[in-house]
Structure 1
Amino acid sequence: MTDITLPASLASTRERLHLALEQAGRPLNAARLLAVSKTKPAELIRQAWQLGQREFGENYLQEALEKQTQLADFDDIVWHFIGPLQSNKTRAVAENFAWVHSVDREKIARRLNEQRPENLPPLNVCLQVNISAEPSKSGVSLEALPALAREVAHLPNLRLRGLMAIPAPADSLAEQRRPFARLRHALEQLQQELPETPLDTLSMGMSDDLEAAVQEGATLVRLGTAIFGARATH
C-alpha cells in the first residue's frame, strides 16, 4: 500500500466504525480503533500516526520490538500485544507494551506481573476467551474464566481491563453476534463479581465481523487489512 491510499483506507475504516456505532445506538467514542500492524513496515505505522492513529496491535514479538526501536521518537504510540503469548516472551512484552490482549492462564499473568518494570504503570490486560470452544484456538474457557479473572485482578502490576475473543467465522450477522453476546455477558458477570476492578474493555471485532461486535458492545475493534491492505505474500 502506498502513502496515497493509506489516508483513504484509514478514513474509510473510521467511517465504517462510526456508522456501526450509530446503527447500534452507541456514542461515536464508545469504541476505539486498534490498527493491527503485524507484518507491516514501520513506515506505514509512521504514516498512520501522522493521520491521527495512536493505538497499534502487534502479533509477533521480535517484529514488534524492531518497529518500536524504529519509532522510538513517537512516545505517544500505545502498543498492544495481541498474539499468542508463551512464557519465554513475557519479559519483553511486560517491558515494552502498554496492553496485552492474550492472557489465558495464571502462569502467564504472574510472569507479566513479576516482570513489569517498576517505573512503568500497571500493564493493561485482557483475558482471551475461547468463546467458540474451538480446540485449535487459544483462550480460557467460559467456565474457567471467573477463577482466572479473580487471580489476575489481585496482581499489583497488572490492571485487568476486560476480555478478548476471536470467534469462529460465521456467515450471517445474527450468527456473528451470538459469540460476542456471550463475551459481553461474561464481562457483565465479572463486573458484578469484581466491582473494584475497572472492567471496561471488550476487545472484539475484526474486518469481517466489526458490525456484529459493535452491536454487542465492543470497545476496541482490531482491524488490519482494512487499513493497511493484505499481508504481503512471499
Structure 2
Amino acid sequence: MSIKENIEAVREKIAEAAKAAGRDPSSITLVGASKMNDAAACREAIAAGIDALGENRVQEMTEKLAENAYDGAPLYFIGHLQRNKVKQVVGKVALIQSVGSDPLLDEIEKQAEKLGIVQDILLEVNVGGEEAKSGYEPAAVFAAALRAKGMAHVRLRGLMTVPPIETEVGQNLANFQKVYRLYVDINQKLYDNTFDILSMGMSGDYADAVRAGATMVRVGTAIFGHRAYPAAKQEGTV
C-alpha cells in the first residue's frame, strides 16, 4: 500500500475508535513519525494530507530541514532530546513533545529567551516508570507543570507519553487512562482548561489511546512501513 493509502487506513481506524468513545474524529491530530524515512517520503505524506510530521533524531531532522522535507506541514520533535542539542531544535519546530526533566525544561526556556520566542512544549510522562526511558514520573508532573507555568518563553500545551511495549493487545489502555486523568487534573487545577494536546498512542496501540482520550497520535510504521533498524538497536514500534 502507498503512504496515501496507509494514512487513509489509519484515519479510518482513528474514526472508529473516536466514534466508539463518543468523540469527534476530527479532534484527533495524526502525526506521521518520519524517523528513518527520507525527504521524499515526508513530502508524500504531506501531499496525502498528514496533519503534522514528527522527528526523533536531531541530526536527521536538521538534514531534512535543509532539504525542505517538511514544507506544508507542522514539524514536531518527538524523540529524546539532549540538553546540548536544544539550540538545534528550539525555534525550528512548532512543538517539542518530549520535555521530560527540569534541566531540559530550563534549557529550552533559556534558548527560547535568547531567540526572543515562545516555544510550545509538552511534558513527557514516564507512565511505566521504566529506567531506560526519559520522562517525568507521574507523581512529579504536576510540579513540572507548575514550573513551566512560571516561564516566559515556553508555553505548555499538554502531556505526552510513551508507555511500555505491549506484550498483549490492549495492555496499555490502563496506562493511557492514567495519563488522561493526569492531563485533566493539571488542566483544570493549573491551566484553566487551556491544555489542548494529549499526545499518546503509536502504530500498535493508537486506537486504544484515542479511546482513552488522546488528542494526538504519533504513527510511523503503519504509515511509512517497517524501518530497517541497525542490528541490536530495535525499539518499540512508533
Separation in 1, partners of 2:224, 2:126: 27
Q: 1:23 aligns with which of 20, 29, 36?
A: 20
What SS class does the counterpart of residue 116 from structure 1 fall into? helix
**Partner residue of 2:175?**
179
Separation in 2, partners of 1:159, 1:126: 8
Q: Aligned Cα RMSD in Å?
A: 1.9
2:61 is aligned with 1:64: yes
TM-score under structure 2 normalisation? Answer: 0.90
What SS class does the counterpart of residue 122 from structure 2 fall into? strand
In structure 1, the gaps of 5 or more residues are none
CA contact under 8 A between 1:81 and 1:102: conserved in structure 2?
A: yes
Q: 1:72 to 1:117 in 2, by over 3 A?
A: farther
Separation in 2, partners of 1:45, 1:118: 30
**Partner residue of 1:148?**
144
Shift of 1:85: 1.1
Q: 1:122 aligns with which of 118, 122, 134?
A: 118
Separation in 2, partners of 1:224, 1:72: 16
Shift of 1:177: 1.0
TM-score under structure 1 normalisation? Answer: 0.91
Separation in 2, partners of 1:113, 1:47: 34
User: What amino acid maps onto 1:183 in structure 2?
Assistant: V
CA contact under 8 A between 1:81 and 1:97: conserved in structure 2?
A: yes
Q: 1:43 to 1:153 in 2, by over 3 A?
A: same
In structure 2, the gaps of 5 or more residues are 231-238
Separation in 2, partners of 1:205, 1:112: 25
Question: Deviations along 1:126-153, whole A, 9 cap, x unmatched?
Answer: 1111101112111101111111111112
Q: Share of identical aligned residues, percent?
A: 33
**Partner residue of 1:53?**
50
Q: 1:88 aligns with which of 84, 88, 91?
A: 84
Shift of 1:155: 1.3
Separation in 1, partners of 2:74, 2:180: 24
What SS class does the counterpart of residue 94 from structure 1 fall into? coil
Shift of 1:195: 3.0
Separation in 1, partners of 2:109, 2:76: 16
